Amino acid sequence: MITYNEYLQEAVSAARIAGQYQKSRFASALDIEMKGDKNLVTEVDKESERLIVGHLLSRFPGHDIVAEEGDYLQSGSPCRWIIDPVDGTTNYAHGYPWFCSSIALEVEGELVAGVIYNPIYDELFTAAKGDGAYLNGKRLSVSTQTPLCNSLLGTGFPYDCATDPANNFANFIAFQKSARGIRRAGSAALDLAYVAAGRLDGFWELKLKAWDVAAGVLMIREAGGVVTTFDGSIYDVFNDKIVASNGLIQDSMVTMLTVVAEGVAI
């Protein structure tokens, strides 16, 4: 029987293969396509996904795949890989060195392995269910920072923020007034990994996809943190509203999001 760590090691191999390719193409001329007004995709996204999926299916040919750039036939396997080949494509396309590959495995609907790899900094975040979360082999733990006013948060904005009122702007203003600071770096997967590593104390965002969050959610849980929806209820990776933290500021973050949703002035 294959263990979660054995699955994890193959995901690590896939992430490193893709990362080597991403570094080889970084800051070079790219063919850029548009999936919306601001949502980019490049040939690096597509080739990275091909490399990752190809490696995983060569090892686990019966597994299902859910990935950002391609549609894959679902066989009903209890094992499903959730893949973002390049999280932070806009950064990558502009030569801004903040992006990663994110790979997670679900077994019977439960997250059991996750990898987030930033090839520019050679930072490999990993987690396996019940075995903790790690950065380049060093065990991670969420921060102990509290209260909210002393906390550093991460967030992002949806691609349709210019046209849809559900744009995260009001939440951003409220947290900017209440927290020590907010960082918006352009990769939700790395933001979540940073919460697991204690570099950020909390994170929230809306309209994310499963491939943006799956690996990071497992890492935060394995590092001792908490992940919920905006109203504090149980989170799954197909929910489009996520709030994650060290646990100590979770209630404060959920309360803030509730207050903003109710239109109360901060």
- Assess whether pLDDT exceeds 60 at residue 38: no
Say yes or no: 135 and 153 in one domain: no
Structure tokens, 101:
């590959």
What is the model's pTM? 0.94
Per-position b or e across 153-167, b if 16+ CB within 10 A of its CB: bbbbbbbebeeeeeb
For residue 35, the model assigns a pLDDT of 62
Query: Does residue 36 have a pLDDT over 80?
Result: no
Calculate the CA 29 to chain-centre distance.
26
Say if residue 153 is in the same domain as residue 134. Answer: no
Q: Supply the mean pLDDT for the chain.
A: 93
HSE, CB side, 13 Å, CA atoms: give it for residue 261: 10
Find the domain containing 181 and state its range.
148-261
Asked whether 127 and 196 are in contact (CB, 8 A), the reply is yes
Question: Domain of 241: which CATH number?
Answer: 3.40.190.80
Q: What is the pLDDT of residues 136-178, one digit of tens each?
A: 999 999 999 999 999 999 999 987 777 777 889 999 999 999 9
124 and 239 share one domain? no
Residue 136 token pair: 């380049």
Query: Quick one: 178 and 123 in the same domain?
Result: no
- Residues 27 and 131 reside in one and the same domain: yes
Pick from 100, 117, 139: which residue ends a domain?
A: 139
Convert the pLDDT of each residue in 80-128 to its tens digit: 999 999 999 999 999 999 999 999 999 999 999 999 999 999 999 999 9
Q: How would you classify the pairing of strands 64-67 and 79-87?
A: parallel
**Is 8 in the same domain as 135?**
yes
Same domain, 207 and 238: yes
Same domain? 167 vs 240? yes
> Does residue 110 share a domain with residue 19?
yes
Do 107 and 195 fall into the same domain? no
Is pLDDT larger for residue 209 or for residue 158?
A: 209
3-state SS assignment for residue 146: coil
Do 127 and 208 fall into the same domain? no
- Please tell me the total count of domains within the chain: 2
Mark which of 139, 156, 180 sits at the end of a domain. Answer: 139
Q: Are residues 168 and 70 in the same domain?
A: no
